[in-house]
A and B are shown apart, each in its own frame.
Chain A
Amino acid sequence: MSNKEKHWEKTKGLMFLTLIIWFVFGYLIFMFGSSLNTSSFLGYPLAYYMCAQGSIIAFVVLIFWFANKQEKIDEEFGFTERGEDE
């Protein structure tokens, strides 16, 4: 496999992993909303908390994590952009 193909394999792997986590926080937990709501977090019913704050915070963290992870993959295969950086 060429360098490019290996890079793309890893990139795809990260994409699938990211989407699995996304699916858990975006859909899976809300399939069990009513049973979730019997527990509580910070005094809020858990399902209510997850859609008010929990899942949203999870998405923010997930995207930052994904961006860092993808940067590492790009570095590993020498595909990091040169020049202007921010």
Chain B
Amino acid sequence: MFKGDFVKNLPKIYGTYTGGFLIFIILMAIAESAGMTAKTIGILFVAFTVCIYAFIGYLSRTVQVDAYYVAGRQVPTVFNGMATAADWMSGASFVAMAGGIYFGGYTYMAFLVGWTGGYVLVSSLLAPYLRKFGCYTVPDFIGTRYGGNLARFCAVVVLTLASFTYVTAQINATGTIAARALGIPFELGVWVGLISILLCSMLGGMRAVTWTQVAQYIVLIIAYLIPIFWISNKGGFGLFPHLMLGEEVARLGELEAQFGLVKNSAADIKAAGVPGGLKSIAVAHSAVPEGGMAAWKFISLALCMMVGTASLPHILMRYFTTPSVKAARKSVAWSLFFIAILYTSAPMLATLSKLSLIDPNLPTGIIGKDISAIMAIDWVQAWTAQKQAFIADFNGDGVLQLNEWFMRGDVVVLSTPEVAGLPYVISGLVAAGGMAAAMSTADGLILAIANALSHDIYYKIIDPKADVRKRLLVARVLLVVIGAFGAYIASMRITSILGAVAWAFDFAMSGLFFPLILGVWWKRATRQGAIAGMIAGLASGTAYLIYVYPKFMGNPAWLGIDHLRFGIIGASVCLVVMVVVSLMTPEPDKATQKMVDEVRVPAGRTILGKQH
């Protein structure tokens, strides 16, 4: 069926795959109308897609170092863009983002700006140069540019800390979704999720992860867009929601004014017995909070997320897989294009689901209606039974007020199809999409950590004479060990999905951002400067996090820099220390300066071409 060059056949292969997936959705819809239960549909959706990813992972198995670490450097720009988009959009983007906008409105949307703007930094400051360098991992660049094992080791430490913070949240998300779709306990779901993740990456490393991520992107974007367009058209909100929800956003403003945005006191919430993690709507949807502090909070959050994006190794390493420097640049643009499709849709989904729920003129609206009638609705019963939603009749009038309806943020995406009265097949699709998003990110992260440990620590520092077979064996063993450790941490449920995700960005920017960009853009940057910068940045950032996070020391935030923004402290310290120490130490030798000159020019061989 697919003769000839694999890369040339990619559009055909993924075209067929997309068609096959759409047919599967239609078959499920037919099965539902023929009486298949919701539970079976959920299981089939998750099982079918996971099996396909595992199959792709198996087909992409490899025994070559180049294929294992950088997918043979032959991934075309558009496909690398899709893979990066899947790598990037985590369970948090898919499941929690619309929920965040639902509760946080404009204030929360700083995340949207932050999680997209970072790619401008990636394309103009880093990706093309790292590609020219020809490294396998991000610490590989630090280790070679600055020289010496200590610099390499420090980079591995930052990478591991940032990626590991992130990966537990992803395994947590796969566990939640697997548990719900398959009807098993969460603790077991985590391990099912981990096995699915490892099936994709173990045999083929980066090559397998690349091709499964493309497949996962297709599933997740279909799963995200279908419900939005469906609800928008079914409810008569507009044919093309992205362009046509202006009136709905205005209507939300009216309803907020009508119901009043009441912030419940902690004592009331406790007295009513609202389960932890559930929230009511207390922030305006589109109105901008007044004052300089609010604007600074918006901007500082966006800044942390952007700089963090440009420092996260699992994203940067995706651009090592393109055929050329030129392709690396274009590929960043395609990545953001594919990411933007989902990110520009999230506010629309939040608007639609909020309106469906709170507008009393709509048949789906529940606010302002009798609580006894609401408690009789199927989906309300299902979600309250799972402690994902809650009704607290504070004023005791038997009518639901806006501040009396509580929901968990993650539930917004998962429940919207049911709330809007779509067939269950859509809920199954959304579960498969959430699973794809969490799995693809987890895969990229686990691979980033395992590759850094196997390539930079084991091969470059411990045993430089190891043969290919041994190197790849070590890489795979580490993959399993790190995955298992992540799943173990996730099964203990330590933080909520989003707090931990933002921390990963702050850790990465504290330790890696300036050593990376100054390595390319400032010839004078020295080894001692980079090492001191990484250590001081990471240490000060972490110290500030401990100082300010309510569950640790809980001190008042300085200038509004709270625990989501501690990277501002870390990265600033890193910059100052790195520049000062670099200027105090002798400038890098001629060979290093020549290497930096070479990195700045796209033509010619990669710097590390022969050394691998």
Residues of A near any B CB (own CB < 8 A): 4, 7-8, 11, 14-15, 18-19, 22, 25-27, 30-34, 36-37, 40, 42-45, 47-48, 51-53, 55-57, 59-60, 62-64, 66-67, 70-71, 74, 78-82, 84-86
Cross-interface CB contact of B340 among A26, A43, A60, A78, cutoff 8 Å = A60
C-alpha spacing A57/B7, complex, angstroms: 29
Q: State whether A67 and B302 are in contact (beta carbons under 8 Å apart), knowing that A34-B288, A47-B106, A86-B327 are contacts in the complex.
A: no
Cβ B295 vs Cβ A52 within 8 A: no
Cβ B323 vs Cβ A85 within 8 A: yes
Whose C-beta in chain B lies nearest to the C-beta of A84?
B323
Cross-interface CB contact of B326 among A26, A43, A62, A71, cutoff 8 Å = A71
The interface residues of chain A, by DSSP majority, are classed as helix
C-alpha spacing A79/B322, complex, angstroms: 18
Whose C-beta in chain A lies nearest to the C-beta of B335?
A63
Cβ A45 vs Cβ B332 within 8 A: no
Min CB distance A83 to B, Å, is 8
C-alpha spacing A45/B246, complex, angstroms: 8
Can you report 12 A-B residue pairs in the complex whose CB atoms are below 8 A from each other? A7-B600, A19-B121, A22-B121, A27-B299, A34-B289, A60-B333, A60-B340, A66-B329, A74-B602, A80-B603, A81-B602, A85-B324
Cβ A82 vs Cβ B603 within 8 A: yes
C-alpha spacing A57/B120, complex, angstroms: 12
Measured between beta carbons, the chain B residues less than 8 angstroms from A19 are 120-121, 124
Q: Does B597 contact A (CB under 8 A)?
A: yes
Q: State whether A53 and B120 are in contact (beta carbons under 8 Å apart), knowing that A34-B290, A79-B602, A86-B77 are contacts in the complex.
A: no
- Count B interface residues, CB 8 Å: 60
C-alpha spacing A36/B298, complex, angstroms: 15
Whose C-beta in chain B lies nearest to the C-beta of A8?
B600
Cβ A45 vs Cβ B603 within 8 A: no
Measured between beta carbons, the chain A residues less than 8 angstroms from B324 are 81, 84-86
C-alpha spacing A45/B123, complex, angstroms: 30
Whose C-beta in chain A lies nearest to the C-beta of B350?
A52
Cβ B286 vs Cβ A44 within 8 A: yes
The interface residues of chain B, by DSSP majority, are classed as helix
Between A and B, how many residue pairs show CB distances below 8 Å?
161
Q: Does B43 contact A (CB under 8 A)?
A: no
C-alpha spacing A32/B296, complex, angstroms: 11
C-alpha spacing A56/B336, complex, angstroms: 9
Cross-interface CB contact of B344 among A56, A63, A64, A66, cutoff 8 Å = A56
Q: Does B601 contact A (CB under 8 A)?
A: yes
C-alpha spacing A43/B251, complex, angstroms: 11
Cβ B329 vs Cβ A67 within 8 A: yes
C-alpha spacing A31/B110, complex, angstroms: 12
C-alpha spacing A27/B301, complex, angstroms: 11
Cβ A60 vs Cβ B123 within 8 A: no
Measured between beta carbons, the chain A residues less than 8 angstroms from B602 are 74, 79-81
Cross-interface CB contact of A63 among B243, B244, B336, cutoff 8 Å = B336
Cβ A33 vs Cβ B323 within 8 A: no
Q: Does B592 contact A (CB under 8 A)?
A: no
Measured between beta carbons, the chain B residues less than 8 angstroms from A85 are 323-324, 326
Q: Which of B548-593 contact A (CB under 8 A)?
A: none
C-alpha spacing A59/B535, complex, angstroms: 32
Q: Does B125 contact A (CB under 8 A)?
A: yes
Q: State whether A42 and B246 are in contact (beta carbons under 8 Å apart), knowing that A18-B124, A33-B106, A86-B327 are contacts in the complex.
A: yes
Question: B115-131, CB under 8 A of A: which get 1 and which 0?
Answer: 01101110111001000
